[in-house]
Structure formats: structure tokens, C-alpha cells
Amino acid sequence: MHLKRPKFLCFKDKAEIFLFILASISIIILFLIIVFVLNEGIPAFIELGFSNFLFGQRWAPYYGDFGAFPLLYGSILIVLGSLAISVPLGVFTAIFLAECSPRWLSNILKPVIELLAAIPSIIYGFFGFMFLAPKIMEFLDVSMGKVALTASIILSIMTVPTIVSISSEVIASVPKEYRKASLALGATKWQTIKSMVLPAAKPGIIASLLLAFGRAIGETVAVLMVCGCVPQIPSPPWNYLKPVHALTAAIALDMGEVSWGSLHYHVLFGLGVILLVITFIVNAIADFFTKKAPRGVQI
Amino acid sequence: MKVVKERFVPFLLAFPVAILLLAFASIILFIGIGGFSAINLKMLTTSVRKGGIFEPIIGTLYLLAGAIAIATPLGLATAIYLVEYAPKGKINRIITQALNNLAGVPSIIFGLFGYAFFCRFLGFGISLLSGWLTLTCMTLPIIVRGSQEALRMVPRDFRIAAEALGVPKWKAIKDIVLPTAAPGLATSIILGISRVSGETAAILFTASTFLIKGLPTSPLQPVMVLTYHLYTLLVATPGASLNRAFAMALTLLGLVILLNLLAYLLRMHYRKRWKW
């Protein structure tokens, strides 16, 4: 009698068992990350109370005030600002690359964009710290160069590659028939792009935007060096010319000085939990939009 | 009128492209000019305590070598398993999902995790070893993704031919698939190294300290790294020597550009060679 074993236990040879074990390590790593960050972060939520921690208005760890709201607000302010710059920049660049870039320019542009993605964040931080912040102080006539706007500009350069690479892939994958049909109806090239290509590519572009959001909110060193690190909600709240603080920056700045097991230590892991939850949600939504991209585009 | 307007569209689109190129050029020029006027051979080979940047450079290499030595076999094995043994099905989906999630985890979270797990729970302390393992977790998705692509580019016919000749599967992989995919695999590993070399947040509290005497002599000692040293020099040391900061930034940027150039050339070569 042929016994039907569950399929995942059917190993073809010894090599497969070995490879399977090594391959499952990535699952274990992800599991351990979640367990350990939660394990160290949950005590902060319990001790401070969920809403006191998340919506507390004052972040002054050395005075015992652990309200994460200014950090959360700062992070989101910076990231939204960066997207406001990088989305038009990235999407237009992607359209340019796909539709009207001469070959020689594409040959320069593509490696440049790849390199922009590869430049370490500390280099961006260094650039922002030494070059951009003084320039902002000079041109906008503010008393401090390290403000939310500086961080947004630096982050936008860092996230443009994500948006360009995914958007251009999606735009290129819009079926040729769509374009041809539109051109045959007498639409100009620009009209075709505007009313045929972009709407068809919209889910993919949204996915790229969300991935950029996820990447930007997790960015640490570059933000830390240029955001000013003042835990406040600027007045008015949309004022980009005030220094702010960010979730990631607070973790990186304080972690070196806390004693292991103290409330401050757990609070920093609690910030990590908030960050992890945000990135997982954003990535999951991005995943959803990716699947809606035309003709099963692989992103 | 329509036609006239249409002519301007490429120029309109070229505007963001120009901004992008300008941003790139200004970063490269700023660090290049500042760096080249600051850097010299003496600084590269002098100890940190005498105003050089010798230990951070060698420390970075230590950190890279170990992390890649661990991440490469792990990443390759995962990719081979996913492509050759489990191309679809539940297990493939779960592992792929795990890798995708891992790729989305911010680097500072890897730092927190590395501290809680490797440094504290496993008791490795702030050390080279903790840094290696933390960075391995980080680069794994990059290496796997690149290797998967490289393996998929090997024509199916190769595998079918080997099978028809009665070659066992693992042998066909070892002798035919892997050598064919080698340049692509190398590219993905180089890109992994490039990512690790610029990482700061993940080693902030797992591997590095600002000042140590000399280089680590065992994996259980902390190490000085370019990124971390640069970070502390700028953030925590007011009035520090900018010359050294520029020199380190240039070294780091040079390393990353070199690695990416290598990966780019390999890929070009690979594309030319394997055309079916």
C-alpha cells in the first residue's frame, strides 16, 4: 500500500534535508526578532500604560517622562515631508526613464540611482550635517539648520531610488496594447501617459510609495544627525522649520547610556515595538497593492 | 497648440531628473573634495590615538569578513533550497514571506534585537561576534534574493540534461548549476558586503565602541568601525577634527562605490556571456 506522507516531509536526498534546515533559519531569525523585541518592549507598555506611553506629550527620559507622542509625530512629520519631495521626483524620473529618456542619459541615470540607494546612511547624515543644514540656516534665515525640513530633504534623496526602481518597472509593464490603442485614437504621447499609463500603473506606484514610507520611517543615523533631536511638537504642528525628534533617533541616542533592565531600557524597546508594528503594517499594505499591479508584475 | 505644449513635456520631466543628478553630484563632490584634501597615506596607517584612522579601517574589514563568511553559506543554501528543491508550495511561501519581512525590518531594530539576543541572552557581550551575527540577519534577505535571481537565470535545459544523464540532483547543482550561476551569485554577495559596510544603526550597540586599545584579538572583543567612529565623532564629540571625519567619509564612500562598480561590471559581463 502506498502511504501518502505529508508533502513537506518528502525529501529527495540528504542534501535537501541539510538545505531545508539552513533555509528555515530565516524564519527562526524573524521569529526571534519579534519575540525578543516584544519581550523587552512590553514591560514599558504595562508599566506606563498603553495610552500614556503612546500618546504621552512629554519625552524627557532623564526626568522620568516617557511620552512617545512627540517622537512618533516627529517621525511621521519628517517622513511625510520626504515623501512630498521624493514621490513627484521619483515618479517623474520613472516616467522620464520609461518614455522619453535618450539612451545615453538612461545609461548614466540608472547607475546613479543605484548608487544613491547604496550610499550608506551615515554618509547622507554627514552630508546633511555639514552641508545642507548650514545652507538651510543661511537661505531660510532660521536660527538652526537641523530642522524637520533638513531631515525630510535628506530622506527624500535616500528614498527616491526605491520609488524610481519600482515605478519604472511597473510603468514598463503596462501592456503595450493600452498605449497603442490610446495613440490610435489620436491621443498625444503625453495624454497617453497621463490617462492610460499612469492609471494602469497606479497600484504599483502606490506600493512603491508605501515601501519608501517604510524605509524612511526606519532610517536612523541620517535622521538623527540632521533632525535636531528636540522632542517637541512644533507650533504650528506643520512647521517644518523647527527641530524635531524621531523614534529611531531616540533609540539610537539613548540606548548607549541606559542601564540594562531599567524602565528607560524597556521604553526604548517599546519604541522599537511601535516602529516594528508601523513597518509591518505599511509593508503588508504595500504587498496588497503589489499584487494588484498589472499582469502579475514581480516587484 | 497641443503639439507645442507636447514639446515641453520632456523638458518638464527632465527637471526632476536634473535635481536628482544635482543631488548626487553635490554629495559626491562635497565628500570627494573635502576628503581628498584631508586624506593622506600617513593618516590611513596611523593609529586612532595618534590622529589616524587605521583601526576603524581594519576593524571594518574584520566586521565585513566575518559577517559575509556566515551570511554567504546561509544565504546560498536558502536560495538553492528555494529555487532547486522547493520552487513552489507552502514552505517556499513561508520562507519567502519571512525573508520579505526581514528585508523590511529597520536596521535599528536589528540593533535592538542583536543587543537583547546576542549580547545579553547568549552572553556574547558587545563584540565582533555579536556584530557578525546581527549583520548576518540583516544581509540574509539581500543575498538570498540576488542568488535566487542568479539561479533562476540558469537555463532549465542544463538541469534536464543532467537528470537525463542520471546525475544525482545535488551533484548536478554542485557541478553544473552553481558554476553557471557563479557570477550572479558573486554579484549578490558583493551587494551584501556593500550594504554591511555602510551599516551604522545595527552595530551601534552590538559590536562597536568608540575607543579601544588596538584591534580585537578575539571575536569576543569589541571593534572599531568606520561608520560608528564617524558617527560618534560627529554626534558626540563637539569640536572634533573634521579632517579625520572627511577622510573616513571618503574611505567609506570609496569602498561602497568600488563594491557597487565591481557588482555592476560583473553583471554586465554576466549578461554578455550567458545569452541563450
Asked if A14 contacts B171 with a C-beta cutoff of 8 angstroms, the reply is no
Please list every residue in chain B whose beta carbon sits closer than 8 Å to the beta carbon of residue A13. Answer: 168-170
Please list every residue in chain A whose beta carbon sits closer than 8 Å to the beta carbon of residue B257. Answer: 115, 118
Q: What is the pTM of this model?
A: 0.91
Asked if B126 contacts B137 with a C-beta cutoff of 8 angstroms, the reply is no
pLDDT value at B1 more than 60: no
* Mean pLDDT, chain B, whole residue set: 88
Q: Residue A18 burial by CB count (10 A; 0-12/13-18/19+): exposed, middle or buried?
A: middle
Establish if A10 belongs to a structural domain.
Answer: no
- Identify the pLDDT of residue A102: 84
CB-nearest to B257 from A115, A122, A217 is: A115
Report DSSP letters for A253-281, one per residue.
HHHTTSPTTSHHHHHHHHHHHHHHHHHHH
- Identify the pLDDT of residue A296: 43
Upstream peptide bond of A43 is cis (omega within 30 degrees of 0): no
Q: Which of A71, A146, A150, A221 best tests the B interface by mutation, with the highest count of B CBs <10 A?
A: A221
pLDDT digits (tens, 9 = 90+) for B90-119: 889 999 999 999 999 999 999 999 999 999
Please list every residue in chain A whose beta carbon sits closer than 8 Å to the beta carbon of residue B27. Answer: 119, 123-124, 127, 157
CB-nearest to B16 from A16, A89, A219 is: A89
Nearest-neighbour CA in chain B from A37: distance (Å)? 6
CB contact under 8 A, B116 and A112: no
CATH number at residue A233: 1.10.3720.10
Query: How far apart, in whole angstroms, are the C-alpha atoms of residue A123 and residue A146?
Result: 16
Mean pLDDT by 10 residues, chain A (299 residues): 52 81 94 95 91 88 88 95 94 87 87 91 94 90 88 95 89 84 86 85 89 93 91 86 92 87 92 95 89 55
CB contact under 8 A, B6 and A119: no
Establish if A20 belongs to a structural domain.
Answer: no
CB contact under 8 A, B85 and A12: yes
Kindly state the DSSP code that residue A60 receives in the 8-state scheme: E
Bigger pLDDT: B3 vs A248: A248
Query: How far apart, in whole angstroms, are the C-alpha atoms of residue B143 and residue B59?
Result: 22
Q: What cell numbers appear for A50 in the block?
A: 498603553
Establish if A118 belongs to a structural domain.
Answer: yes
State which amino acid sits at residue B222.
P
CA proximity to B266, closest of B167, B182, B152, B171: B182
Query: How far apart, in whole angstroms, are the C-alpha atoms of residue A64 and residue A266?
Result: 13
CA distances (Å), B203 to each of A40, A129, A170, A249, B209, in order? 19, 21, 35, 14, 9
Establish if A214 belongs to a structural domain.
Answer: yes
Residue found under cell 497606479? A202
Establish if A254 belongs to a structural domain.
Answer: no
Q: How much is the ipTM here?
A: 0.91
The residue range of the domain holding A108 is: 76-248+278-296
Give the count of domains, chain A. 1
CB contact under 8 A, B204 and A15: no
Please list every residue in chain A whose beta carbon sits closer than 8 Å to the beta carbon of residue B201. Answer: 121, 220-221, 248, 252
Q: Where are the alpha helices (DSSP H) in A129-256?
A: 133-140, 148-172, 176-184, 189-192, 198-217, 221-226, 247-255
State which amino acid sits at residue A295.
R
- Identify the pLDDT of residue B128: 93
Asked if A250 contacts A268 with a C-beta cutoff of 8 angstroms, the reply is yes
Please list every residue in chain A whose beta carbon sits closer than 8 Å to the beta carbon of residue B204. Answer: 252, 255-256
Query: How far apart, in whole angstroms, are the C-alpha atoms of residue A21 and residue A192?
Result: 51
CB contact under 8 A, B78 and A23: yes
Number of neighbouring beta carbons within 10 Å of residue A21: 11
pLDDT grade for B10, boundaries at 50, 70 and 90: confident
Question: What is the rounded average pLDDT of the residues B242-268?
Answer: 91
Establish if A206 belongs to a structural domain.
Answer: yes
Nearest-neighbour CA in chain B from A69: distance (Å)? 19
pLDDT value at B60 more than 90: yes
Which domains, from first to last, does chain B contain?
57-241 (1.10.3720.10)
- Identify the pLDDT of residue A298: 43
For residue A114, the chain B residue with the least C-alpha distance is: B260
Q: What percent of chain B has pLDDT over 90?
A: 54
Residue A59's SS3 state is: strand
Please list every residue in chain B whose beta carbon sits closer than 8 Å to the beta carbon of residue A214. Answer: 104
Nearest-neighbour CA in chain B from A15: distance (Å)? 6
- Identify the pLDDT of residue A13: 72
Asked if A155 contacts A222 with a C-beta cutoff of 8 angstroms, the reply is yes
- Identify the pLDDT of residue A1: 44
Angle ∠(A144,A148,A150) on CA atoms, nearest 5 = 70
Which H or E run contains B266?
Answer: helix B242-273
Establish if A242 belongs to a structural domain.
Answer: yes
CB contact under 8 A, B73 and A22: yes
Please list every residue in chain B whose beta carbon sits closer than 8 Å to the beta carbon of residue A157. Answer: 23, 27
Please list every residue in chain B whose beta carbon sits closer than 8 Å to the beta carbon of residue A99. Answer: 13
Establish if A68 belongs to a structural domain.
Answer: no
Asked if B133 contacts B114 with a C-beta cutoff of 8 angstroms, the reply is yes
CB contact under 8 A, A118 and B26: no
- Identify the pLDDT of residue A201: 86
CB-nearest to B101 from A30, A93, A220 is: A30
CB contact under 8 A, A96 and B14: yes
Query: How far apart, in whole angstroms, are the C-alpha atoms of residue B184 and residue B192?
Result: 13
pLDDT digits (tens, 9 = 90+) for B177-217: 999 899 889 999 999 999 989 899 999 889 887 777 778 88
